[in-house]
Amino acid sequence: MSGGRTLYIAGQTAASLGEIPNDDFVDQFDRALAAVLEVVKEAGGKPADLMTFTIFVSSVDEYIARSSPSANATASAWAATIPAWRARDLRFVNPRAKVEIQAIAVLDD
């Protein structure tokens, strides 16, 4: 790809799609990821346009335990396809939030 528009996606949590329905880490990850993908889609992009992916979590220990291939197929699949990603501990404004994802995508012109 030569050139393109850069899309900076602010942190998305399970609450980005409405209320946080439960305290399940995997469900919150999937909802936060769905919110990121919705932003990309609305901007005219596709999942393959994601270039970087930062996952903020309330507990890195829980992230490691729940992101194994058997525990969270979505996290494992995305970790394999995103060129640059990392996980960091963070406390969220919403105390029920366990995962926040921010990303950068490069969209075709």
Q: Which residue has the higher pLDDT, 12 or 54?
A: 12
Region 46-73 average pLDDT:
76
The terminus-to-terminus CA distance of the chain in angstroms comes to: 10
The model carries a pTM of: 0.77
Region 8-29 average pLDDT:
90
CB atoms within 10 A of CB 2: 5
Q: Is 50 exposed, middle or buried (0-12, 13-18, 19+ CB in 10 A)?
A: buried
Region 5-13 average pLDDT:
94
Domain 5-107 fold: 60s Ribosomal Protein L30; Chain: A; (3.30.1330)
- Domain locations in the chain? 5-107
The pLDDT mean for the chain works out to 80
Region 90-109 average pLDDT:
83
